[in-house]
Structure 1
Amino acid sequence: MKYINAEAVFPKRLLDELQQYVQGDWIYIPAMKGARKAWGERSGSREALRLRNEEIRLAYTRGRSIEQLSSQFGLAYDTVKKIIYSKS
């Protein structure tokens, strides 16, 4: 989050109105709904984890044990178990 001077952004009329409520303090203006991306969407991490989890579920249905998958993917036994039994 960076500091932006309100005089550089808001029209005079709006700035005058805002100063009726806040003067000389910091104010946070949140992003519009839908403007933010969820964790990992920008970097691709979310998709990479989805694909990994899908691969783990598929391997489990083909007979791999939770212990084998835990070792193969470098995950804790309980983490693999959660992935396998989760709905998505």
Structure 2
Amino acid sequence: MNYVNAEEVLPKNLIDEIRRYFEGGALYVPKSDPRAGWGTGSGMRAELDERNRAIRREYAEGGDASALADKYCLSPDSIRKIVREKRESRK
């Protein structure tokens, strides 16, 4: 992120309008194109979503949180959190 003096790049009437709302500080102007969500470009988000669906399915079929934790290299608390997240999103 680069700092640029507004007077060097913006017309005076636009600067005057901005000053009506914000004066004398640093103002961040984000890019117009939205950033992709975390892990969408690499496919990691899809992998984690699939893993979490498998965990929820196995848990619903009677899987034990400790056994699932060992299988997926997670803590039992993480397994319970994954299962709980889906339940709470249904409410």
Q: Runs (4+) of structure 1 moved beyond 4 Å?
A: none
- Runs of 5+ consecutive residues of structure 1 not aligned to the other structure: 4-26
| TM-score, normalising length: structure 1 | 0.65
| TM-score, normalising length: structure 2 | 0.63
**How many Å apart are 1:77 and its aligned residue?**
0.9
Residue identity opposite 1:30 in structure 2 = P
Aligned match of 2:66: 67
Aligned match of 2:47: 48
Deviations 1:24-79 (A, max 9, x none): xxx854112x5211111111111110000000000011111001100000001110
Q: Alpha carbon RMSD of aligned pairs, Å?
A: 3.1
Aligned match of 2:13: none
CA change 1:2–1:45 in 2 (3 A) is farther
* Secondary structure of the structure 1 residue equivalent to 2:52: helix
Greater RCO between the two (CA within 8 Å, min separation 6)?
A: 1
Aligned match of 1:30: 30
Aligned match of 2:6: none
Identity %: 38
